[in-house]
Amino acid sequence: MPDFLIAPDPSLPRLTRAVSGIDHNGAAVDLRVVEERPLTIFLNAQEIVTAMTIGDYPEELAIGYLLNQGMLHRDDTLTGVDYDEELDVVVIRTGRVTDYEEKLKKKTRTSGCAVGTVFGDMMETLEGLTLPTAEVRTSWLYGLAKQINTVPSLYLEAGAIHGSVLCRGDQPLVYMEDVGRHNAVDKIAGWMFRNAIDPGEHILYTTGRLTSEMVIKTASMGIPVLASRSGFTAWGVEIAREVELTLIGRMRGKRFVCLSGAERLVMDVDVDTIEDEGAKHRRKGAD
């Protein structure tokens, strides 16, 4: 198993629940399904959003969400991060006075991922953005895909979940999962903020589609490379090209497609030496 700093732990009892049912033959089946629970996020005294989440890393999720919505600034000083497990509430306190009452009404963000997102505010974070110069070697991509797609995870245990992985070179570092792909990215953003991580030398890998919001979040985090087993949306590609983010999708076996930022790619592997992906690969694209 790769030496992750944070990796999924599908054995945690509060993340899944045992349920019974019948299969297509009418036979009894028992399986584990992913739990969903609400998490309400406050910024200072103001309630911002209630997000449906699996409930792990609530502080990182709250910080990352506020960062990626432009409500928390990259240079903000946090004076408090308080999580109440009984109330499912996280309160983020800053030295800066904040007031989003006129700008934001109470929203509930569901596991449908994009519901309740303050999209216009996110677009504002891209104004004047310049992503770091970096390179991404194809040997890294193949190595990362093999490691990430076989590591024990909630996806392999119960399905119905998305994952995002912060990587450096060919090493996956932080693997977060959640019912919404954007929650998983927000957890990584919060972890990076709390640990003062320089984004410029990193790659973000996601199991989900390469949508406009995924591109915006990755770029606003300062990460220059976004990769996925899944496919693209046209707007996602357009925004990636505008901010010169390297966007790589459809990573299956020896195959991938780069639709933006190809100048960062270093082709250092003979693809004929890479094993192609068989029909029984353990992880399918998570759309």
Second-level CATH architecture of 136-273: 3-Layer(aba) Sandwich (3.40)
Reported as a single tens digit per residue, the pLDDT across 1-43 is: 568 999 888 888 888 888 999 989 999 999 888 889 999 999 9
Give domain limits for the chain: 37-124, 136-273
Rounded Cα distance, 171 and 152, in Å: 16
Using a 10 angstrom Cβ sphere, with 0-12 exposed, 13-18 middle and 19 or more buried, the burial of residue 46 is: middle
Residue 145 near residue 152 (C-beta atoms within 8 A): no
**CATH no. for 37-124:** 3.10.20.10
Q: What is the value of pTM for the model shown?
A: 0.87
What does each of the 287 residues of the chain score in pLDDT, given as a tens digit? Answer: 568 999 888 888 888 888 999 989 999 999 888 889 999 999 999 999 999 999 999 999 999 999 988 899 999 999 999 999 999 999 999 999 988 866 665 454 544 444 334 455 566 778 788 899 999 999 999 999 989 988 888 877 766 788 999 999 999 999 999 988 889 999 999 999 999 999 999 999 998 899 999 999 999 999 999 999 999 999 999 999 999 999 999 999 889 999 999 999 999 998 888 888 754 444 544 44
The per-residue b/e assignment along 5-27, b for 16 or more CB within 10 angstroms, e otherwise, is: ebbbebeeeebbeeeeeeeeeee
